[in-house]
Amino acid sequence: MVSKFRAQMMPLASQTDRGNTFYQFARRYASQARTPRDARKLLDNPDFVRPLSLFLTGDQSLASALAKNSGLKGRFAEYLARYPFDYRSWDLAFSDMDRAQAWKADFEAQVARGSVAQLSYLWLPNDHTAGAATNPLPPLQLVAQNDAALGRIIETIANSPIWNESLILVTEDDAQNGPDHVDATRTVALAIGPSVKRGVIVHDRYDQLSMLRTIEVVLGLSPLHRSNALAVPMLGIFADTPDTTRPATPQPSTHLAPADRIRFDQFNTPVKQSPP
């Protein structure tokens, strides 16, 4: 079955977005896999497990294995319970605000259960844009959606019971073709949380592995590999004394409100953009 998985997934990765392929048939089951126990029940549903098996192995070999192997079903259920079915992956024609809403529903369900994941990894791809193209939207509108979605996520965590123990790290996927006056590979990183310095620009040199290493240090995890182990943790971002004051929630009268309501269907006509 492992060989079938590899034979199915490797070509599929070069042909399509596998995350969206999964999303198309699995999203309707999102509320049925919030916990490992629920996900295990879902794996008894042939309407779900058959397309899942076809997606992952190209046939029904996974469905057959899950039916015969209780241990495998349990491990698979543990994985599925940690994967948000209704969180759409790479698709610029899908609003980051809707991604944030899907994440918010899952996060609030975790809070209600009293069991919030120690690490959540999510992406908001709208700020990648389609270059200067206006399809699906002009760059300024895509970036506005991205900013509003990130703000909604931070606001949700800041007003949750886990805020005092939270650390939010944000970075771009890569520097792309946006060189500045120093280097073509530089990119931005943001850090938010009670233990993070506020109103400060940290000029220490960090990289993508530094962010990963910081996450490992905070969670007490071992490095994934040698390069990661040698990476410099982002220690310069932390304050000596935590500040648990919650960030102020934007009021409807502020300039953030219009961006908060951005949806793709509101923009049928491209807006005029100022030159950079």
Can you give the pTM of this predicted structure?
A: 0.83
Residue 249's pLDDT is what?
Answer: 57
CA terminus-to-terminus distance, the chain:
53
Find out whether 198 and 160 touch, Cβ atoms under 8 Å.
no
Average the pLDDT over 215-240 and give the result: 95
For residue range 127-142, what is the model confidence (pLDDT) as tens digits? 888 888 888 889 899 9
Residue 259's pLDDT is what?
Answer: 43
Phi first, then psi: give them for residue 129, nearest 5 degrees: 60, 175
Secondary structure (3-state) at 81: coil
- Token look-up 């506005």 returns 144
197's tokens: 């310095």
- Local confidence band at 77 (pLDDT 50, 70, 90 cut-offs): very high
Residue 12's pLDDT is what?
Answer: 86
pLDDT at 257 over 50: no
Classify residue 114 by burial, with Cβ atoms within 10 Å: 0-12, 13-18, 19+: exposed
**Could you tell me which residues come within 8 angstroms of residue 19 by beta carbon, excluding any fewer than 6 positions away?**
88, 89, 90
Q: Name the average pLDDT for the chain.
A: 86
For residue range 164-196, what is the model confidence (pLDDT) as tens digits? 999 999 998 766 666 777 777 788 899 999 999
